[in-house]
Amino acid sequence: MSISVNNLTKIYGSQKAIDAINFSVRTGEIVGFLGPNGAGKSTTMKILTGYMEATSGSAVVNQFDVAKQSMSARASIGYLPEHNPLYLDMYVAEFLQFIGRLYGIKKPLLNERIEEMIEICGLKNERHKQIGQLSKGYRQRVGLAQAFIHQPQVLILDEPTTGLDPNQLVEIRQLITTLGKDKTVLLSTHIMQEVEAICSRVIIINRGRIVADDALQNLRGGDTSLEAVFRALTR
């Protein structure tokens, strides 16, 4: 298993954001993590990536407990947060250099990785621009490049295509499929087409509880659309 979540609970003040959830993701799977606004997706992802502590329960990523072996777990995860927090006054290559150094990648390997990510993520023409000058789609590309710079085995992507135009949407999906080849990907989205285009399995969370966890084709069954299943389970 690449990701294993056991009775994970997060309480903010008096609000239970996630309530003893359990799920696991096998190596090589691309899993869609769906749920209505406020269901608990980002909270779960923040705990998995070590950005937040759980109130109780545990999570293991790449065999590292995310609370007890936080540094090792983080080193094996690539994370694109929901509000991709890029440094707007940094230049693209400079930013990737900065993130690479945080992961302890040394030159000349770091320079190779930066060139590779710039190439794969289609950032050649933007590399000398400041991040604040880039369109949303290109900022997402930079976000994916930084998430992948250290060649992590697990990618956790929180709404990677929100707010993109239809062309960029298709391009970013292709990029996720390319980067996610032979990796494990957990991806949250509100776009059902996206799940159908790139995910093999779906986990649906509603009000902090898992309400579905199955292969995409099993969930949809016959003529039922994923959207209909989602609506029926999350009302």
Ligand X SMILES: Nc1ncnc2c1ncn2[C@@H]1O[C@H](COP(=O)(O)OP(=O)(O)OP(=O)(O)O)[C@@H](O)[C@H]1O
Query: Which residues of this protein are in contact with ligand X, per CB under 6 A?
Result: 12, 15, 17, 35, 37-43, 82
Q: Report the residue number, 24 or 234, with the smaller CB distance to ligand X.
A: 234
Q: Report the residue number, 54 or 93, with the smaller CB distance to ligand X.
A: 54
User: Residue 40 CB, nearest distance to ligand X (Å)?
Assistant: 5
Nearest to 232 by CA among 217, 212, 216, 215: 212
Helix axis angle, 109-120 to 166-179, nearest 10°: 140
Q: Report the residue number, 149 or 172, with the smaller CB distance to ligand X.
A: 172
Q: Report the residue number, 43 or 146, with the smaller CB distance to ligand X.
A: 43
Name 30's Cβ contacts closer than 8 Å, sequence gap at least 6: 177, 180, 184, 185, 187, 198, 199, 200, 201
User: Residue 15 CB, nearest distance to ligand X (Å)?
Assistant: 6
User: Residue 45 CB, nearest distance to ligand X (Å)?
Assistant: 8
Q: Report the residue number, 41 or 183, with the smaller CB distance to ligand X.
A: 41
User: Residue 60 CB, nearest distance to ligand X (Å)?
Assistant: 20
User: Residue 151 CB, nearest distance to ligand X (Å)?
Assistant: 27
Nearest to 104 by CA among 150, 151, 154, 50: 150
Q: Report the residue number, 17 or 175, with the smaller CB distance to ligand X.
A: 17
Provide Rg for the chain, Cα atoms: 18
User: Residue 41 CB, nearest distance to ligand X (Å)?
Assistant: 4
Helix axis angle, 92-102 to 109-120, nearest 10°: 130
